[in-house]
Structure 1
Amino acid sequence: MSNQINIGMIGYKFMGKAHSLAYRNMPFYFKTGKTPVLKTLCGRNEQEVKQAATNWGFQQTETDWKKVIEDPEIDLIDIVTPNHLHAEMAIAALEAGKHVICEKPLALNLEQAIKMEEVARKSGKIAMICHNYRFAPAVQYAKKLIDEGKLGKIRQVRATYLQDWLMDPEFPLTWRLDKEVTGTGALGDIGAHSIDLARFLIGEITDVVSLLETFIKERPTGDMVQGLSAKKNQNTEMGQVTVDDAALFLAKFENGAIGTFESSRFAGGNKNGNRFEINGEKGSIKWDLENMNLLEVYFEGDEEGLKGFRTINCTEEIHPYASAYWPSGHIIGYEHTFINLVKDLFDGIDNQTQPKPDFIDGLRNQEVLHAVEQSSLENSWKSIDTVR
């Protein structure tokens, strides 16, 4: 059996770049039983996808995603497309005997997510969802502190994910603002990360009550270019925004904790403000993606006069994943969260064990997204209905 895993990536924009870098760099830092090979990059625009393949190191390109899945040389399908394509592609790949990693949110809606998880479970293949923020060493260390009981019983979480790139009313109407393509707006785009982090750190959410708001309801049409930038179409056509610009909800957790969640792409001055604070009976922790190496920790048991948050630079060998990189204090960045995720993915393929977060995590997150949407529509508390 070959120790190489040939990758077929479908999509080549923002997340394609992040994933490709992770595959290229992971073997430099981590020793795994399987080695990634950037085999085929797929996209509809032949010229653009060829340029991306050259930049990122893929061996070949394709414009028909079905041919990538049918290729017997491809072992792993990486899906970095808009959300409405996730289900069809992932199901086809799993049924063809491929391992799959899929960008978040798992699906366009709950119905699709249920089917994806079912097919993944029956396939016997590795199926992972890309919630990369779990893989910041500081977040992993926060999980360790919680699991060891250092914070005691968890009582509250405050989670915010704030951006400001949509504040300009002239920003074009792209796929991220079309419900038929993306499912939800700020809720699924960035709020899904907060939901996943909360579930990872604290446990399952049981009930929610929410408010979703669209501030600018009509925009000039256009297309995403790279990252979070876009260009207008040459005509002056306007289109309706059909997703939320901001989402807020309260949550109850299975273990008795409560939480507040806020996601917005209209929070001026916040470029990528993914933050949480967790309060327990013995202490608290804070984390901010924009200072992702740092974890703020407070312990109630400290002596009087010294009580207060201390800042831990989670780059020491004791901190999860950190020993693969640089000496203590030599910080790592956003791209390393993907490298750490890919390391676990390849360990899972090698050991034939399913790494987390998997498609059941994607489904649980989708169940929360669905309940938040329904709560806003019905203006009432909604319980999370789990499938299995």
Structure 2
Amino acid sequence: MAMKVGIIGCGSIAKQRHAPEYLANPYVNGIVFFDRNKERAMDLAARFDGTVASTIDELFDDPMIQIISDCSSNESHHIFTTKALQKGKHVLCEKPIALTIEQAEKMIEVQKKSGKKLMIDFNQRFNRAHQKAKEIIQNKSLGNVLTFRTTFGHKGPEHWAVNKSNATWFFKKNRSGFGVAGDLGLHKLDLLHYLLEDEIEQVSAFQAALDKVDETGKPIDVGDNLVCSLKTKRGRIGTASFSWTYYGEEDNSTIIYCQKGILKIYYHPEYQLEVITRDGEKVNYQLESIQTNDYQTNSGVIDEFVDCVRLNREPIISGEESLASLKVLLALLEAAETSRVVFVK
């Protein structure tokens, strides 16, 4: 069964991840690109042997398109994804699912009514080191999880975004909404929920724009760093840090501390997963390297979603799970703004 795909938004995430992975998938036989900047759509169509839709409605009304990738900027997800579902398309939406709880709930409601599939692109669940760590946590060989710490930081979206400029929409509050917390932090909030099979329910946080400036030289109006403390429903406590100012190298590591040992994930330069028991025994796993902005590999997300549609199975990441992570994110921003401990709604 060959499928035609539509991609909304022709920025870096479409160029580096979605388009090449659809092109490589044997069940996809065509990609249609749409961007408000038609030149960007034309560039990707030429690069990935696709075609261009002149309007968004042309994309939605094409009966041959079964899957839509919503790679638009954050403030548009709830508009485009909702309309795509209403038009009978399956949708893979970039994170965050939306900027508000109300928008996300409406999207999930529309998805259920449509009978179509909705998956949010939390690609860290697909990394083999994270999957192996989850397996070790589940089998209780290290006992129960007690605490954790995780980080995700790089030198900033202006080095990754398609225009390589401080004018990037990631720096605009009305478009990105959440700054670094929504760009990088959401990945790790979802990952913690996934690894621990638990939900964060209580948070505190500090956030600041420490170094980034916009195209006019003024400090950006969203945070470029956020550091937080997290408590889960099952009583685990831990810390997380998210940054656009890790200028030396990217850091995407997580450490899980259990009763009988430690799991270090993407911490060692050679071993993607290290298990260190309380007796000092070490087991090192060489699995695949994690994606970075400078080192692009197949994320597995596109192949998974195509298979979900093709085989009529439920996506590995549901709209409800994405909403749960969004609620934690909004609580973090409230905690940072009010200098209070906040319970996740």
Fold agreement, TM-score > 0.5? yes
Give the drift of 1:63: 3.4
CA–CA distance in 2 between the matches of 1:289 and 1:13?
30
Q: Is the 8 A contact 2:94 2:120 kept in 1?
A: yes
Cα offsets for 1:236-262 (capped at 9, x unmatched): xx5662111111110101221111010
The equivalent residue for 1:267 is 246
CA–CA distance in 1 between the matches of 2:270 and 2:121?
18
The equivalent residue for 1:297 is 275
CA–CA distance in 1 between the matches of 2:125 and 2:212?
33
CA–CA distance in 2 between the matches of 1:181 and 1:125?
27
Task: Give RMSD over aligned pairs.
Answer: 2.4
In the alignment, residue 249 of structure 1 is paired with which amino acid?
A: C
Q: Is the 8 A contact 1:79 1:90 kept in 2?
A: yes
Cα offsets for 1:101-120 (capped at 9, x unmatched): 01111112332222222222
Q: Is the 8 A contact 2:203 2:341 kept in 1?
A: yes
The equivalent residue for 2:283 is 310
- 2:65 match: secondary structure: coil
Give the drift of 1:179: 0.9
Give the drift of 1:171: 6.0
Unaligned runs of 5+ in 2: none
Q: What TM-score do you get using the length of structure 2 for normalisation?
A: 0.90
In the alignment, residue 199 of structure 1 is paired with which amino acid?
A: H
CA–CA distance in 2 between the matches of 1:290 and 1:310?
12
Say if 1:209 and 1:292 are closer, same or farther in 2 by CA, change over 3 A.
farther
The equivalent residue for 1:232 is none
The equivalent residue for 2:256 is 278
The farther-off stretch of 119-128 and 283-292 is 283-292
In the alignment, residue 381 of structure 1 is paired with which amino acid?
A: V
Q: Is the 8 A contact 1:173 1:239 kept in 2?
A: no
- 1:207 match: secondary structure: strand
Say if 1:81 and 1:291 are closer, same or farther in 2 by CA, change over 3 A.
farther
The equivalent residue for 2:80 is 89
User: Which of 168, 174, 177 matches 2:168?
Assistant: 174
Say if 1:9 and 1:171 are closer, same or farther in 2 by CA, change over 3 A.
closer
Superposed counterparts of 1:1-388, under 5 Å: 3-17=1-15, 18-27=17-26, 35-58=27-50, 60-165=51-156, 172-202=166-196, 203-216=198-211, 219-221=214-216, 241-270=220-249, 272-288=250-266, 294-300=272-278, 302=279, 307-314=280-287, 335-338=296-299, 340-385=300-345
Give the drift of 1:294: 1.6
Please identify runs of 4+ aligned residues in structure 1 that moved more than 3 A: 165-168, 289-293, 331-337
CA–CA distance in 1 between the matches of 2:298 and 2:144?
28
Q: Is the 8 A contact 1:274 1:290 kept in 2?
A: no
CA–CA distance in 2 between the matches of 1:292 and 1:154?
25
CA–CA distance in 2 between the matches of 1:157 and 1:116?
32
Equivalenced residues, count:
336
In the alignment, residue 314 of structure 1 is paired with which amino acid?
A: L
Larger relative contact order (C-alpha < 8 A, sep ≥ 6)? 1
CA–CA distance in 1 between the matches of 2:324 and 2:298?
22
Say if 1:335 and 1:126 are closer, same or farther in 2 by CA, change over 3 A.
farther
In the alignment, residue 248 of structure 1 is paired with which amino acid?
A: V
CA–CA distance in 1 between the matches of 2:108 and 2:186?
17
CA–CA distance in 2 between the matches of 1:135 and 1:360?
18
Cα offsets for 1:155-213 (capped at 9, x unmatched): 11101011123799x96232111111001111111111111111110121111111111
Q: Is the 8 A contact 1:22 1:336 kept in 2?
A: no
- 2:18 match: secondary structure: helix
CA–CA distance in 1 between the matches of 2:271 and 2:29?
29
Q: What TM-score do you get using the length of structure 1 for normalisation?
A: 0.81
